[in-house]
Structure 1
Amino acid sequence: MTDAGKILMLIPARGGSKRLPRKNILPLAGKPLICWTIEAALATGLDARIVVSSDDEEILDIARQYASKGVIAYKRPNELATDTASTVDVVIDAVKAEKAQGHKPETVILLQPTSPLRTAEDILSALYIFEEHGCGDTVVSVCEVDHPRAWVGIVSKDSCLEGIDLSGKRSQDYQKEYRLNGAVYISSIGSLLCSNTIFTKRLIASIIPRARSIDIDGKFDFKLCEFFSIKSDGA
C-alpha cells in the first residue's frame, strides 16, 4: 500500500446546517455524529495525517479529544464557513495549511461526517482500488440505487407523470446502476491543485452497501442512521 505518511485524511465539518441544525455534533447512538467518522479514520490503522477542518469551536473541541491519537483540529478561515464555500476550496485550504507546516501529502482521502456508517474497511477498500488503478483517477464511493433510473420521471404542471418506462419490466431485469453516496473520495493532491477539482475525468467506483451509505441531510436520514447503527451494534 502507498506510503501512508503521504496521505491526508480530511474530515470537513462546518458548524452551520439549515435542514438539521448542528447536525455534525448531534448525538448518534450515544456519541456526536462527527466521532463516527473520526473513529473510522483512526480504525484504518493508516499512518496518515487525520485533520478535522471546521469553523466551529465545539466541533474542534471534540476533535481535540482525539489529539493523543494523532487527530489534528484545524480552524478554517471564516470565508470557508459559509453556505457558498465549496468542498474543493476547503480541501485545498487544508492541503496548503499542511504544506505550511512542512508536510507533503500526496493523496487526500475526503471523509464527510454526514456518512457515519461508512467503516474503516470501506475506506481501506477505496484506497486499495485507488492504488490498483495507479493513483491517477479519483475514487468515489457508490452504492446501488434503490430503483432503476427508468422508473424516474418528472411531474408536469398539470400533474402528469412523464418520462418513465411503462414496459412493465421487473427491477431485476434492468442493468444495475449506482450513485455517489458521499462517504469516501480519494484523489491525488497534484491533480487536485492543478485542476481545482476533486474529480478527474474518469472516476473509479468503490462499492459500499446501501445500509452503510446513508448520507445525513435531515431528520429522517438521522433516524435511519440511528436504526442501522443500533442494529449493527446488536449483531
Structure 2
Amino acid sequence: MADTGDILIVIPARGGSKRLPRKNVLPLAGKPLICWTIEAALEARLNARIMVSSDDEEVLTIAQRYQSEGVIAYKRPDELASDTASTADVLIDAVKVEQAAGHDPKTIVLLQPTSPLRNAEDIRAALDVYRKGGCEDTVVTVCEVDHPTAWVGTIGEGSRLEGIDLSGKRSQDYPKEYRLNGAVYVVQSHLVLNSGSLFTECLNASVMPRLRSQDIDELADLRFCESLI
C-alpha cells in the first residue's frame, strides 16, 4: 500500500455565510458546528497536523480550545475571506504556511465543517482508498442518491416537465448512482500547488452512508442533523 507521506488536515471555516449566517459557530447538539469536524479529525488518529483556517476570531477562539491536542488555529489573509476565494486558494495558503514553518505535507485531507455527521471512520476510509490507488488520484466521499437521476428533469414553458424517464421502471431497476457529499477530500499537495485544483483527471470514491452525508446549508439542515444526533 502506498505511503501518503506527511498529512495535513485542513478545516476551512469562514466567518461569513449568506444563507445561514455564522453557521460554523452555531450550536449543534450542545457545541459549535465546527467542533464536530475538529473532533472527528482528532479521533481519526492519522498522526497528521490539523489546521483550522479562518478569517473569524470566534472560529479561531473555538479552535484554540484544541491547541493542547495539536490543532493549529490559523488566521488566513483577508483576501482569502471573500466569496471569490476558492477552496484551492485556501489549501495553497495552508501548505505554504506549513512549509514556511519547516513542514512538508505530501497529502492534504480537506474536511468541510458543514458535514458534522462525518466521523473518524469516514476519514480513515477515504485515506485507505487513496492509499490503495497509489496516492495518485484525488479521493472524494460520495453517497448513494435517493432516487434515480432518470427521474430528475426540468420545468419548461407552461409548467411543462421535461427530461423525465417515463418508462415506468422501478427504482431498483436502475444502476446505483452516487453524488459528491462534500465531507472528505484527499489530494496530493503538489497537485494543488502546481495546478490550483483539487481534482485529478480521474477521481476515486469513498462511499459514505446517506445519513452521515448531511450538509449544513440552511437552518432546516441544522435542525435535521440535530434530530439525527
TM-score (norm 1): 0.95
Contact 1:15 1:24 in 2 (8 A): yes
Whichever residue aligns with residue 30 of structure 1, its letter is: G
Residue 201 of structure 1 aligns with which residue?
201
Aligned-residue identity in percent: 68
Pairs within 5 Å for 1:2-151:
6-151=6-151
RMSD of aligned residue pairs (Cα, Å): 1.1
Q: Secondary structure at the match of 2:184?
A: strand
Q: Secondary structure at the match of 1:20?
A: coil
Contact 1:13 1:53 in 2 (8 A): yes
CA–CA distance in structure 2, aligned partners of residues 118 and 93 of structure 1: 25
Q: 1:188-221, CA deviations, whole angstroms, 9 ceiling, x for partnerless residues?
A: 1112212110000000000000000001111111
Q: 1:16-66, CA deviations, whole angstroms, 9 ceiling, x for partnerless residues?
A: 001000000000000000000000000011210000000000000000000
> Which stretches in structure 1 are left out of the alignment for 5+ residues?
230-235
Whichever residue aligns with residue 70 of structure 1, its letter is: G
Contact 1:5 1:47 in 2 (8 A): no
Residue 169 of structure 2 aligns with which residue?
169
Q: Secondary structure at the match of 1:205?
A: strand
> Which stretches in structure 2 are left out of the alignment for 5+ residues?
none
Contact 1:107 1:186 in 2 (8 A): yes
Q: 1:139-159, CA deviations, whole angstroms, 9 ceiling, x for partnerless residues?
A: 000000011000000001211
Q: Residue 195 and residue 7 in structure 1: after superposition, are their counterparts in 2 closer, same or farther (change >3 A)?
A: same
Contact 2:14 2:56 in 1 (8 A): yes
Q: State the shift of 1:5 in Å.
A: 6.7
Contact 1:5 1:49 in 2 (8 A): no
Q: Secondary structure at the match of 2:142?
A: strand
CA–CA distance in structure 2, aligned partners of residues 14 and 50 of structure 1: 16
Q: Secondary structure at the match of 1:82?
A: coil
CA–CA distance in structure 2, aligned partners of residues 172 and 34 of structure 1: 37
Q: Residue 2 and residue 35 in structure 1: after superposition, are their counterparts in 2 closer, same or farther (change >3 A)?
A: farther
Contact 1:4 1:46 in 2 (8 A): no
CA–CA distance in structure 1, aligned partners of residues 211 and 129 of structure 2: 21
CA–CA distance in structure 2, aligned partners of residues 38 and 217 of structure 1: 19
Structure 1 consecutive aligned stretches of length 4 or more whose deviation exceeds 2 Å: 1-5
Contact 2:5 2:106 in 1 (8 A): no
Residue 180 of structure 1 aligns with which residue?
180
Whichever residue aligns with residue 85 of structure 2, its letter is: A
Q: 1:126-176, CA deviations, whole angstroms, 9 ceiling, x for partnerless residues?
A: 001100100000000000001100000000121110000001111111000
Q: Residue 90 and residue 36 in structure 1: after superposition, are their counterparts in 2 closer, same or farther (change >3 A)?
A: same
Contact 2:4 2:106 in 1 (8 A): no
CA–CA distance in structure 2, aligned partners of residues 157 and 18 of structure 1: 30
Q: Secondary structure at the match of 2:103?
A: coil
In the comparison of the two structures, how many residue pairs are matched? 229
Higher mean C-alpha displacement, 190-199 vs 98-107? 190-199
CA–CA distance in structure 1, aligned partners of residues 2 and 27 of structure 2: 35
1:152 matches 2:152:
yes
